[in-house]
Structure formats: structure tokens, C-alpha cells
Amino acid sequence: MAAIRIIPRLDIKGPNLVKGIHLEGLRVLGKPEEFAKFYYEQGADELFFQDVVASLYERNSLREIITKTTKEIFIPITVGGGIRTVEDINNVLRAGADKVCINTAAVNNPDFIRKASRAFGSSTIVVAIEAIKKGDGNYYAYTDNGREQTGLEVIQWAKRVEELGAGEILITAVDKEGTGEGFDCALIKSIAKLVSIPVIAHGGASGEIDILNVINECQVNAIALASVLHYQTILQFEQEKFTKSEGNKSFLKSGRTFSKITPTTIANIKQTLKDNGIQVRSNEREK
């Protein structure tokens, strides 16, 4: 198996890094550029930026943030949110991104996956699947941060995404996201067994043990993480760095996290994985 990739996920609203639960109830955490640089220095393998209101407002506003970030960061960057056309992809790549992540546009026009992968290569196209388990026991795909039901059954959709030319799948269990209740291994395993392209697991990590378990049980290729990294980073940053952040800062000022989440670092995660025989990429940027 190739080395497992650790990918910090940075959800962006306007100029701010935000975080919620079930992709909702967003709280301002700070400046995304500062977090991105910190994660790069700490050994992140890639970074994932998501404009969380882009689909709602039918635009992606991350170009300036990406341009700033790529001046100091030299690992692959994936950008998602509001990407609907080949021109949108081209603009994001020209700003410095290496990959794009699409969801709403892929659902609305599945052939967009084929068109995009042919234009830019499959390795550039990541398809996000936001999954919610319904009463019939099946998982269904959602868009707009888990707000809009598509009617697509997740397993069938994942297979079709691969057939259309996507290079990777980012699977988010919306019911688990931000809760610290652990990954939805049943969901993730069913997709990882079905497709041959890399699968990135996202949503539910409480700490290093959950990350270790999802790798061992589900044969994923990468892990996208937010809360467990962001809350530890806040503890390490000086509080004054956040004074210019916009929006509701009550959560930031309180110093609270969630009882089910044990904040940790990229270095600690990688060490835990190595101690358990899982291959990870070394951090050549450690000072």
C-alpha cells in the first residue's frame, strides 16, 4: 500500500477559516493562510480548501487565498466549492491549485466529470460525496454542505463517478462530521471495496485511534481532517493572531472544544500510524 496521506481540510467562509458540526453551525476559527502555513510546516501531505458557501451563492471566492498560500506552501492543494465549468477549473488551477473538488456540478451534470477529466487529467479531478443514511438503511448523496438531497444512492453514485473519469473520491459522512464519534466505517469500506481510485475519508475523527482504525478497517488512501487539527492549532497559536478575524468569535475566545474530540498534531498522527506499521510520508520540513 502507498503511504497514507494526511490532508488538513480548511473550510472557508469569506476571509475566515470556519468549522461546524454536520457541516452546519459554522464558527470562526481564524485566518486560513496562517493555519495552512502551520500545517505545511508540520508535515501535511496536501491541503484541501473548501468554500462552504460557494454553491449557495454560485461562486468561488478562494482565488485570492490560494494565490497567497501558494507563495509559501509547496504541497498539493485541492480547492472545492462553486466550481461549475471548465473555465472555473482553469481559473483555480491558474491561481495555484493542483486539484479541484466538485460535488453539485457533478450531480447536476455528471458528464462534467468526464469533460473535466479529459481536459485536465483524472488526477486533477476529485469528486466529493456528502452522504447521509436514511431510514431505509441506504446512504444518499447530498449537496450544498448536506442541505440538498439528490436522490442518488451513494454506492451506485461512487461507481459512476469512477466510470466518468474522476481521479479520487472524498467521502464525507455528514452525520458524523464534526462530532468526534468516529468515522462511518461501514460507508467508507463499501466505497473503498467497490472502486479502484483513491478514497479519502472525512468526517468524525475524535483522535489518533479513529484515524488508525479507519485505515486498518477500510483500506482508504488518505484522511481529511479538520476539528482534531484545528483545535490543537488554536491552542498553539497566540490569541492575538485572531483579533482581526470577522464574524462570531465567541467560540474562539471561549477556548472550548468538544468533549468527544482530543486535539492532536500531524506529527503525532503520523507517529501513531508508523508505530502501528502503516506507511506515511516523512516530514522533510521539520525544523
Q: What positions carry a catalytic annotation? A: 11, 130
Query: What is the rounded distance in angstroms from the CA atom of residue 182 to the CA atom of residue 207?
Result: 9
Q: Which has the closest alpha carbon to 251: 15, 8, 77, 19?
A: 19
- Which position has the grid cell 451563492? 57
Query: What is the rounded distance in angstroms from the CA atom of residue 280 to the CA atom of residue 254?
Result: 35
Strands 125-133, 199-202: pairing is unpaired
258: Cβ contacts below 8 Å, ≥ 6 apart:
178, 179, 180, 227
| CA dihedral over 15, 203, 95, 38, signed as positive or negative | positive
* Count of positions (residues) in the chain: 287
Judge contact between 45 and 281, C-beta under 8 A.
yes
Q: Which has the closest alpha carbon to 51: 93, 23, 91, 22?
A: 23
Residue 49's beta-bridge partner residues? 10, 79
- Radius of gyration, CA atoms only, the chain: 17
Calculate helix-pair angle for 266-275, 32-42, nearest 10 degrees: 30
Judge contact between 32 and 81, C-beta under 8 A.
no
